[in-house]
Amino acid sequence: MKKALLVWGGWDGHEPKESIEAAAEMLKTEGFETKITDTLESYLDSENLNSLDLIVQSWTMGEISDEQVGGLLAAIKNGVGFAGWHGGTGDSFRNSFEFQFMVGGQFVAHPGNMIDFDVNITKPDDPIVAGIEDFKINSEQYYMHVDPGNEVLATTTFSGKHDSIDWIKGTAMPVIWKRNYGKGKVFYCSLGHVAKELEIPQLREIIKRGMLWASK
């Protein structure tokens, strides 16, 4: 049986506990043994981390120690998968460039806050998004700094209408990507502001598939 550790904490506005519980249910339906924790001390237990197939995190902002991030990144480099979404991974630990390097991106802004926007599938043959059509969503449209080495699976295009930021009009921003980090696989999706969003059929399926892809 595959094993996954799901870690939640940080800013409560992203409903980290509820979101992680939703992710755990997705994995249980796929036969995973899951453990949920609300402490970053879990990243110090190298023996346990290296026995895992997958780590899923929802921890917005907060701080992580050098020892904690070192333990996490070592496990991923050794082949443990990592997956996350929205600010729970794309805006975690602003003090840790090493963590951002692993994820492949960092949140910068969400002009207009909660708005309607389109998600455009860019690699329809990839198994994570195969069979899923472009869709509309009401959420925070993340503007991010991203690693050009990411394998982008979906994008969103900014209208430039919000917060008088017209200079980003027409910018196609990655929404979903995957990448390698050492021997490990990393999946990220910038959608999923609160747990309710994970009930959207397209998003739920993408996140489930992304976690399965990242798993060792």
CA distance 83 to 105: 13
> Both tokens of residue 42?
């879990």
Q: Tens of pLDDT along 114-153?
A: 999 999 999 999 999 999 999 999 999 999 999 999 999 9
Kindly state the average pLDDT of the residues 106-121.
96
For the chain, how many structural domains are there in total?
1
Mean pLDDT of the chain: 97
Domain that holds residue 192: 3-214
Predicted confidence at residue 128, as pLDDT, reads 98
pLDDT at residue 135, as a whole number: 98
What mean pLDDT comes out for the span 17-22?
A: 98
Select from 48, 53, 7 the least CA-distant residue to 31. 53
In this predicted structure, the answer to whether residue 39 has a pLDDT above a threshold of 80 is: yes
What pLDDT is attached to residue 165? 73
pLDDT, tens digit (0-9, with 9 covering 90-100), for 148-202: 999 999 999 999 888 767 789 999 999 999 999 999 999 999 999 999 999 999 9
H-run or E-run covering 174:
strand 172-181
For residue 141, the domain's CATH number is: 3.40.50.880
Res 66: pLDDT: 97
The confidence score (pLDDT) of residue 206 equals 98
